């Protein structure tokens, strides 16, 4: 009985942890705007957390730089399974304008499995909301598979 209550409450409240892997802050600003009252992602249950140990969904922005690579891998290892990784913007996917730079070690897919990608430089808040909704669906599927295993 208690497990059903826990599962139901967890399904409606995915927590997000944001990692900046060397971005220009354009994507970060758009992510913050999704959490403000104008778009209000919290009405859908999404909540920003300050620690990866409480996160369900990890949002990564920026190309993976040589200085952030090790920190990114360590932080992702702290996120409990099942987790969903969202790449925010063009930089984690391809490096965008930073591709070929001496300090860029990306793309993000070299270091972790990416479940959802949001394209654009910078992505629109509507696209971020759609990606978070898709991430929540993937998270529910992963939780269901874990319970069945």
> What does the pLDDT look like over 94-128, one tens digit per residue?
888 778 888 888 788 999 999 999 988 889 999 99
Q: Read off the CATH number of the domain in which 16 is found.
A: 3.40.50.12280
Helix/strand/coil for 11: helix
For 31-44, write each residue's pLDDT tens digit: 999 988 888 888 88
Q: In what order do the strands lie in the sheet with 84-88?
A: 47-48, 15-20, 57-61, 84-88, 116-118
Total structural domains within the chain: 1
Q: How far apart are CA 68 and CA 23, in angstroms?
A: 10
Q: Is residue 149 domain-resident?
A: no
Beta bridge partners, 85, equal 58
Instruction: Check whether 3 has a pLDDT greater than 80.
Output: no
Look up the domain containing 118 and give its range.
2-143
Q: Is residue 58 domain-resident?
A: yes
Instruction: Check whether 74 has a pLDDT greater than 60.
Output: yes
pTM of the model: 0.88
């Amino acid at each position: 009985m208690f497990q059903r209550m826990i599962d139901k409450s967890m399904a409606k409240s995915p927590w997000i942890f944001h990692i900046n892997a060397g971005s220009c802050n354009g994507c970060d600003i758009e992510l913050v705007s999704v959490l403000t009252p104008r778009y209000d992602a919290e009405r859908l249950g999404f909540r920003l957390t300050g620690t990866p140990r409480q996160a369900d969904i990890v949002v990564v922005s920026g190309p993976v730089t040589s200085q952030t690579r090790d920190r990114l891998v360590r932080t992702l290892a702290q996120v409990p399974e099942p987790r969903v990784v969202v790449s925010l913007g063009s930089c984690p996917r391809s490096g965008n304008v930073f591709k070929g730079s001496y300090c860029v070690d990306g793309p993000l897919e070299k270091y972790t499995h990416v479940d959802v990608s949001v394209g654009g430089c910078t992505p629109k808040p509507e696209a971020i909301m759609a990606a978070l909704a898709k991430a929540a669906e993937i998270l529910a599927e992963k939780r269901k598979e874990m319970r069945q295993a």
